């Protein structure tokens, strides 16, 4: 009898599992930049969030791209404490009963705090893939492939869960991965992805866990 292939669930962190209590490096730089908040975050996704360390060269390039003086770059900034949303642990426990669970997040090396997350989420989450570790950010398909390749799982056996439509949902769909959007009451930005690519919508992580257990029972069909 052939064993069922591993089911992998990748989960976004900020906005999906919980929220940082206080401004981190990304928020501080966005506030300091004359660019729009949206444009500043786009710049940081490619120039900052993919870096494993903050070298002088990285700082200089980021400041130039954000039009921020180098002396305004926050140094020695600790990661902000992370507060889980109510029900997160129970939802992860349910998901981990039917799948391997890992995180996949866009985050700077300053804000990642993998050990802090491990303390909050163990034993339900087995590994952590911040963008500063894998060198790519969502929605780039290379971010999703980095995790899939590392864990040697077929894309059709992966479900990604996240709250950012562009980074999490569009990115997953373009990577050939099933996606569940955490809406928190927001309207779906693009109904065609729901209809054409089977994107599921969940009000919160508990609802996403219900979707996942049903998909696992049906072997994703």
How confident is the model over 15-27, as pLDDT tens digits? 999 999 989 999 9
Element containing residue 11 per DSSP (H, E) = strand 8-11
Residue 146 pLDDT class (50, 70, 90 cuts): very high
How confident is the model over 89-119, as pLDDT tens digits? 999 999 999 999 999 999 999 999 999 999 9
How confident is the model over 36-60, as pLDDT tens digits? 999 999 999 999 999 999 999 999 9
Element containing residue 217 per DSSP (H, E) = helix 205-217
* Whole-number Cα distances in Å, 93 to 46, 124, 181: 33, 6, 19
Residue 1 pLDDT class (50, 70, 90 cuts): very low
Residue 5 pLDDT class (50, 70, 90 cuts): low
Q: Which pLDDT score, from 0 to 100, does residue 219 have?
A: 61
Name the burial class of residue 101, with classes exposed (0-12), middle (13-18) and buried (19+) by CB atoms within 10 angstroms of its CB: buried
3-state secondary structure of 186: coil
Q: Which pLDDT score, from 0 to 100, does residue 220 have?
A: 61
74 pLDDT exceeds 60? yes
Percentage of the chain modeled with pLDDT above 90: 89
* Whole-number Cα distances in Å, 25 to 50, 72, 104, 107: 14, 12, 19, 9
2 pLDDT exceeds 50? no
How confident is the model over 149-193, as pLDDT tens digits? 999 999 999 999 999 999 999 999 999 999 999 999 999 999 998
Cα distance between residue 137 and residue 214, in whole Å: 29
b/e 102-129 (16+ beta carbons within 10 angstroms → b): bbbbbbbbbbbbbeebeebbeebbebbb
Instruction: Please give the distance of CA 210 from its chain centroid, rounded to a whole number.
Output: 20
The pTM assigned to this predicted structure is 0.93
18 strand-pairing partners: 14, 84
Within 8 A by CB and 6+ apart from 218, the residues are none
């Amino acid at each position: 009898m052939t064993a069922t292939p591993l089911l992998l669930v990748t989960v976004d962190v900020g906005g999906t599992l919980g929220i940082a209590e206080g401004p981190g490096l990304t928020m501080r730089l966005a506030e300091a930049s004359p660019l729009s908040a949206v444009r500043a975050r786009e710049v940081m996704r490619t120039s900052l969030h993919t870096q494993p360390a903050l070298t002088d060269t990285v700082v200089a390039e980021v400041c130039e791209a954000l039009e921020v003086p180098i002396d305004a770059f926050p140094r020695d900034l600790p990661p902000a404490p992370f507060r889980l949303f109510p029900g997160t642990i129970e939802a992860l426990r349910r998901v981990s009963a039917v799948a391997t669970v890992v995180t996949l997040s866009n985050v700077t090396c300053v804000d990642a705090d993998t050990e802090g997350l491990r303390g909050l989420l163990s034993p339900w989450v087995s590994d952590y893939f911040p963008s500063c570790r894998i060198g790519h950010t969502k929605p780039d398909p290379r971010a999703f492939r980095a995790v899939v390749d590392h864990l040697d799982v077929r894309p059709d056996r992966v479900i990604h869960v996240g709250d950012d439509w562009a980074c999490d949902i569009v990115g997953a769909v373009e990577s050939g991965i099933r996606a569940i959007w955490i809406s928190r009451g927001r309207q779906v930005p693009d109904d065609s992805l729901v209809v054409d690519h089977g994107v599921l919508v969940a009000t919160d992580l508990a609802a996403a866990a219900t979707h996942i257990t049903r998909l696992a029972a049906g072997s994703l069909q």
